[in-house]
């Protein structure tokens, strides 16, 4: 087909648009499919770039990727601002982590100790130093720490900027939904569809509901605080993200639900914690209450790389709470993968192949064990070490063939089958195709 | 002018539309002016018909009018439902008044004792009886009382029903704003413009901001409680109004402000009190946050009757928190006044003449004393006993003459000057005209 795209990106959120931008910059013909760009999780997201504050026990590999991506943000923001000609609200005042009560502070200090222990820059602050930085904090706030390198960006500015940059680099936006990968005609399809990736690929991406409230400083001024504030307030975790235009994002719940209803209880908890930490927020206008669906995964880490047996289909989804901070590194590494066929070692822990494939006819679910797994046999793909294409899959069925494999990676000069996420390559047999589609 | 209307009503809220309906029913040619019918205070109002629960110390005359109007509601609702062919959400389950803490209950009991003392039907309930009526009440709720005759209606159903009824009776709606009474050409002009009455008439009507939150029972069901619940919760006064369609209105703040911004603090206080009283509300969807402006007056009572010196201009405004409950009696009495020229004695305490007229060039303000009043001289019109047209007014200036006086009350067969709100009549001299316009 004449002018068949090199790359089709499904999903025009920050991740999809940034991948499209990077691919277009490298000379590929790129099409992005999305009926409503930027209407997914990014529309709700606060835009914290917080690898330090978001470094949790047991997520070491994710923390590494977050840190790597946050380190790319300054240059990424500068390049994007120049390319799109708009301010994306990138701010570097840093993040204050605070505890309201003694119990809150004790809980926070456990996490800060962990974060310091893995070498992250967390600086405990005496109460006077805390108030010198943010005089608007409630007198009740017992203590805090500074994560100076945790920054922020405005996702609602980011998406239009990325779209402009991608289009200026030559990418084309098609404002239509992709219901099936067989609808897409491109050498490589990148699935950056957030929660929508589950239906398209069978990957174990599930919606994790998050509710936020948006306030605005009264009278049109800027908020009375500069840092992102992440607080523990009577056991409630809340963040407060100030924008130069007066907006304050208060978030966010983390709920194992797929609806997008805003609940009275969530708004109550968010506002109570926010006002407890920063009393002046009571006088702010409440301008928006909103719920979104984060693309969660069984291990809270993103899914980055080609589907096993489908080197022409590359996943870039499952970013969960971290889609904004992970945008630069995702875009860089996925574009590199698409162009060269070589997977950066950073991608290895995030391969789609770490999850067991779904069984035909069984809807994908978080942490689903393969029902055809034999007793005593380890679950295929369990852990993050299983390599793509490492053998026939129990219970796998042949792909429908609707997605062309031949010709994949044409633009990159690579061979079909070279895209195993661990960097290994090898021919793929049809037996290794399965129902990741 | 051919087809000059008998009555022009300025304002298509419940009061204005009900007056238009009643006047049209009695054969008058009626025009109603409003660019956005039902977009004022009634759009925010909860629709409680609560003369008992709203009977406060020192408002005896207002309580009498509230009671009289509430007594008309059953027939009014039935007639309106028949005339308009729609359900207006009139419900008769009664109102529970509850106190969350011992302090709350003590405060509530003082008011209940007052209400009982003036003969209103308030029935204290034992905690078991309270929970038998509403099992969803929080176990913490210390006590309550029943106001069985305090009912509710849905203002957002009421307004379209009244509009239909008025139009079916022959009234015409003109969807345009009235900036000055001189824009109106009718024998009698009824100013039912809520807060807008101040600019049109100079009457001391001021906006009293009220914020409400609208919830919805999850899953499309009805709320888990039947009564209107009015509670004192840790010093916060809140009401919870359940609708058959699943809606619950949580209100309301009372703020001496004129903006319509929704504040984080108000939503927090309303939701906290609501969830403290009825924990299941935390699971309800938050579907709307909204602020409105009640037309308040210096004595919290409405302003009903002809402007002094302007028998062709009849005020029906200043209903403050009581516009919905007062709609039937206001409509009946104002229509009677317009048609017959005779003021029902019920109207006497609510005459516009009870307030001192504003001085030319001085904007009206709540409780403004006449700056030209001599030391030692009682303020003219102070109290509710001063009769309209009772003598020349200090500082008054002649009316501009833009609003025609001659011909007023033509349709009613009355004479100019017969409309003193206390029922007395007499000729009006031009000296008695002033700046109520």
**pLDDT tens for each residue of B303-342:** 999 999 999 999 999 999 999 999 999 999 999 999 999 9
Contact between A65 and A331 under an 8 Å Cβ cutoff? The reply is no
Euclidean distance between CA atoms B21 and B5, whole angstroms: 14
A287 vs B: CB within 8 A:
yes
Query: What pLDDT, on a 0 to 100 scale, did the predictor assign at position A351?
Result: 97
Segment among A32-41, B297-306, B384-393 with least mean pLDDT: B384-393
User: What digits encode the pLDDT tens for the residues A239-278?
Assistant: 999 999 999 999 999 999 999 999 999 999 999 999 999 9
Average pLDDT on A281-296 reads 97
A358 band by pLDDT with thresholds 50, 70 and 90: low
Segment A386-397 mean pLDDT: 31
**pLDDT reported for residue A180:** 96
Q: Is the pLDDT of residue B391 over 50?
A: no
Mean of all residue pLDDT scores within chain B: 85
Confidence of residue B386 (pLDDT cuts 50, 70, 90): very low
Res A357: pLDDT: 76
Please state, rounded to an integer, the average pLDDT across all residues of chain A: 85
Task: Note whether A285 contacts B261, CB cutoff 8 Å.
Answer: yes
CA distance A150 to chain B (A): 27
Q: What percent of chain A has pLDDT over 90?
A: 80
- Residue A355 near residue A384, CB atoms below 8 Å: no
Report, as an integer, the average pLDDT of A32-50. 96
At B263 the pLDDT is 98
Residue B374 pLDDT greater than 60, yes or no:
no
Is A275–B287 a contact, with Cβ atoms under 8 angstroms apart? Answer: no
Residue A293 pLDDT grade (very low, low, confident, very high; cuts 50, 70, 90) = very high
**A90, A339, B209, B328 from A17: Cα distances, Å:** 18, 16, 45, 60
Q: Above 70 in pLDDT, residue A69?
A: yes
Least Cα distance to A225 among A154, A134, A289 occurs for A134
Q: Work out the average pLDDT over A318-337.
A: 98
Residues A264, B272: C-beta atoms closer than 8 Å: no
pLDDT for residue B57 is more than 70: yes
Residue B357 has a pLDDT of 76
Q: Which residues contact A134 (CB under 8 A, 6 or more apart)?
A: A96, A225, A226, A227, A229, A278
With helix as H, strand as E and coil as C, how does chain A read?
CCCCCCEEEECCCHHHHHHHHHHHHCCCCEEEECCCCCCCHHHHCCCEECCCCCCCCCCHHHHHHHHHHHHHHHHHHHHHHHHHCCCCCCECCCEEEEECCHHHHHHHHHHHHHHHHCCCCCEEECHHHHHHHCCCCCCCCCEEEEECCCEECCHHHHHHHHHHHHHHCCCEEECCCCCCHHHCCCCEEEECCHHHHHHHHCCCCEEEEEEEEEEECHHHCCCCCCCEEEEEECCEEEEEEECCCCEEEEECCCECCCCCCCEHHHHHHHHHHHHHHCHHHHHCEEEEEEEEEEEECCCCCCEEEEECCEEEEEEEECCHHHCCCCHHHHHHHHHHHHHHCCCCHHHHHHCHHHCCCCCCCCCCCCCCCCCCCCCCCCCCCCCCCCCCCCCCCCCCCCCCCCCCCCCCCCCCCCCCCCCCCCCCCCCCCHHHCCCCC
Is B287 an interface residue toward A (CB < 8 Å)?
Answer: yes
Segment B343-357 shows an average pLDDT of: 94
Highest mean pLDDT among A132-146, A392-406, B354-368: A132-146
Q: Which residues contact A138 (CB under 8 A, 6 or more apart)?
A: A100, A276, A277, A278, A279
Q: Which of A297-306, A424-433, B226-235 has the lowest mean pLDDT?
A: A424-433
Residue B411 has pLDDT above 70, yes or no: no
Q: How far is B56 from chain A, CA to nearest CA, in Å?
A: 29
Query: What is the CA angle B365-B367-B368, rounded to 5?
Result: 60
The proportion of chain B whose per-residue pLDDT surpasses 90, expressed as a percent, equals 80
Query: CA B197, CA B41: separation in Å to the nearest integer?
Result: 13
Contact (CB<8Å) A287/B213 = no
Task: Indicate whether this complex's ipTM tops 0.85.
Answer: no
Contact B286 A272 (CB under 8 A): no
CB distance B263–A283 less than 8 Å? Answer: yes
Residue A359, pLDDT score: 53
In the stretch 149-178 of chain A, residues with CB closer than 8 A to chain B read none
pLDDT tens digits for range B63-102: 999 999 999 999 999 999 999 999 999 999 999 999 999 9
State the pLDDT at residue B2. Answer: 54
With contacts defined as CB-CB under 8 Å, which chain B residues touch A275? 264-265, 268
pLDDT score of A421 more than 50: no
Residue at token pair 């022009």: B8
Record: contact B271-A271, CB cut-off 8 A: yes
Instruction: List residues bridging with B172 in a β-sheet.
Output: B31
pLDDT band at A356 (very low <50, low <70, confident <90, very high): confident
- Residues of chain A positioned with their CB less than 8 A from the CB of B218: 261, 263
Q: Measured between CB atoms, does A138 come within 8 Å of chain B?
A: no
Shortest Cα distance from A286 to chain B (angstroms)? Answer: 5
Residue A94: φ, ψ to 5°: 90, 175
Min Cα separation B283/chain A (Å): 6
- The pLDDT of residue A2 is 53
Are residues A286 and B274, on separate chains, in Cβ contact within 8 Å? no
Q: Is the pLDDT of residue A372 over 90?
A: no
Q: Flag whether the pTM goes above 0.90.
A: no
A404 pLDDT above the threshold of 90: no
| Interchain CB distance below 8 Å, B262 and A272 | no
Structure confidence by residue, pLDDT tens digits, B13-37: 999 999 999 999 999 999 999 999 9
> What pLDDT score was predicted for residue A149?
97
pLDDT of residue A205 exceeding 60, the answer is yes
Cα A199 to chain centroid distance, Å, stands at 18
Nearest to A217 by CA among A287, A307, A277: A287
Asked if B388 contacts B343 with a C-beta cutoff of 8 angstroms, the reply is no
pLDDT band at A367 (very low <50, low <70, confident <90, very high): very low
pLDDT of residue B3: 79
Mark yes or no for CB contact A286/B289 under 8 Å: yes
Q: Nearest CA to CA, how far is B251 from chain A (Å)?
A: 14
Would the pLDDT of A392 be above 50?
A: no
pLDDT at position A397 is: 31
């Amino acid at each position: 087909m004449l002018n068949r795209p090199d790359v089709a990106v499904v999903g025009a959120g920050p991740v999809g648009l940034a991948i499209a931008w990077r691919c277009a910059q490298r000379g590929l013909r790129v099409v992005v499919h999305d009926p409503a760009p930027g209407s997914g999780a990014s529309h709700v997201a606060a835009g914290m770039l917080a690898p330090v504050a978001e470094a949790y026990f047991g997520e070491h590999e994710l923390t590494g990727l977050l840190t790597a991506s946050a380190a790319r943000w300054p240059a990424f923001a500068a390049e994007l601002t120049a390319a799109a000609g708009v301010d994306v609200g990138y701010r570097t005042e840093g993040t204050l982590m605070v505890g309201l009560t003694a119990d809150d502070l004790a809980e926070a200090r456990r996490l800060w100790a962990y974060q310091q222990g893995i070498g992250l820059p967390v600086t405990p602050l005496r109460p006077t130093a805390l108030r010198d930085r943010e005089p608007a904090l409630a007198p009740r706030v017992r203590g805090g720490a500074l994560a100076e390198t945790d920054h922020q960006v405005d996702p609602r500015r980011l998406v239009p900027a990325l779209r402009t940059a991608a289009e200026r680099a030559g990418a084309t936006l098609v404002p239509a939904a992709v219901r099936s990968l067989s609808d897409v005609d491109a050498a490589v399809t990148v699935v950056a569809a957030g929660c929508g990736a589950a239906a398209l690929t069978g990957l174990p991406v599930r919606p994790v509901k998050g509710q936020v409230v948006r306030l605005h400083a009264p009278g049109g001024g800027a908020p009375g605080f500069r840092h992102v504030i992440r607080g523990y307030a009577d056991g409630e975790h809340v963040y407060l993200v100030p924008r130069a235009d007066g907006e304050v994002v208060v978030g966010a719940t983390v709920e194992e639900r797929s609806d997008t209803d805003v609940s009275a209880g969530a708004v109550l908890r968010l506002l109570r914690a926010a006002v407890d930490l920063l009393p002046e927020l009571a006088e702010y206008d409440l301008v928006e209450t909103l719920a979104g669906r984060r693309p969660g995964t069984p291990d809270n880490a993103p899914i980055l790389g080609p589907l096993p047996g489908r080197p022409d289909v590359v996943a870039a989804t499952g970013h969960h709470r971290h889609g904004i901070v992970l945008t630069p590194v995702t875009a860089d590494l996925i574009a590199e993968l698409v162009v060269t066929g070589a997977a950066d070692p950073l991608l290895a822990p995030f391969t789609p192949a770490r999850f067991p494939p779904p069984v035909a006819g069984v809807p994908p679910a978080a942490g689903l064990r393969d029902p055809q797994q034999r007793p005593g046999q380890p679950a295929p793909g369990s852990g993050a070490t299983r390599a793509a294409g490492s053998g026939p899959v129990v219970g796998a069925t042949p792909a429908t063939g609707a997605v062309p494999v031949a010709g994949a990676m044409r633009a990159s000069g690579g061979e079909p089958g070279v895209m195993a996420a661990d960097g290994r390559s090898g021919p793929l047999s049809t037996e290794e195709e399965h129902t990741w589609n």
